[in-house]
Amino acid sequence: MVDAVPKAKAHISVEGLTMSYGDFLIQRDLTFTINHDDVFIIMGGSGCGKSTLLRHLTGLMAPAKGQIFYGETNFWNVDSKERERIMRSAGVLYQSGALWSSMTLAENIALPLRAYTDLNPAQISDVIALKLALVGLSGFEDYYPSEISGGMCKRAGLARAMALDPEILFFDEPSAGLDPVSAHLLDELILELKDSLGSTIVIVTHELASIFAIGNNSVFLDPETKTMIAQGNPNELLANSSDPKVRSFLTRGEEGSI
């Protein structure tokens, strides 16, 4: 288990969070800390609420109960304009990449730059070229999503998520639909970008290879008890956890996928 740290030292603190859709409870009593520079993994079995938790952290869904702090700011106790301001320092990579199919890669990346900055067209073009270079897609500015591979679409989506130089990056199942080699390359890219940008990374994933390769902190959500049953470094949980559900999840590759 990881000791909680004061909110001022944390990037994100979650305290007593309950998530629900009306009367349908998703998770309750979630309390954990995401530290600056963490690669934080949200993990658990199917239907446990991993993506729902991501929606709460990114301002898309309000808690039924509990609090989320960005630094010392109570995220859901401020008005929508302040939440929007906070989220401008974050980037999100959705499961599919979520690129607009009718737009080129350059046009996709330009969207947040045009919406939230005063950069002129030449400056925007420079930023687009830089972000595509960071994800290994130099020269692909004029390609449409349908003209590139799934792995390249994920990288283009990552370039767009980084457009505003975010302090924190959220990923929803980044390796979904990728072959093992492409998934491994994406993991390496995430670590490289973390080191170069100094960003905090939060990842929803069930992929064991990614969990153990890049995660240094985590929370484990249980769909049966509808609460968290473990938190900490995934490799340490594998070595030390006595909870059968946690051990079954983290060793399932030895017994076949679930």
- pLDDT for 97 equals 62
The rounded distance, in Å, linking the Cα atoms of 24 and 180 is 36
Which helix (H) or strand (E) segment is 192 a member of? helix 180-197
- pLDDT for 258 equals 32
Please write the tens of the pLDDT for every residue from 11-51.
999 999 999 999 999 999 999 999 998 999 999 988 999 99
Task: Map out the domains of the chain with their CATH numbers.
Answer: 36-54+90-255 (3.40.50.300)
- pLDDT for 253 equals 56
The rounded distance, in Å, linking the Cα atoms of 136 and 115 is 25
Average pLDDT over residues 215-223: 96
Torsion angle, CA of 194/198/203/209, rounded to 10 degrees?
A: 30
- pLDDT for 46 equals 87
Cβ atoms of 219 and 43 closer than 8 Å: yes
Average pLDDT over residues 224-239: 96
- The closest alpha carbon to 32, from 248, 223, 221, 255, belongs to 221
Cβ atoms of 164 and 113 closer than 8 Å: yes
Please write the tens of the pLDDT for every residue from 193-215.
888 888 999 999 988 999 999 99
- pLDDT for 24 equals 95
Rounded to the nearest integer, the mean pLDDT of the chain is 90
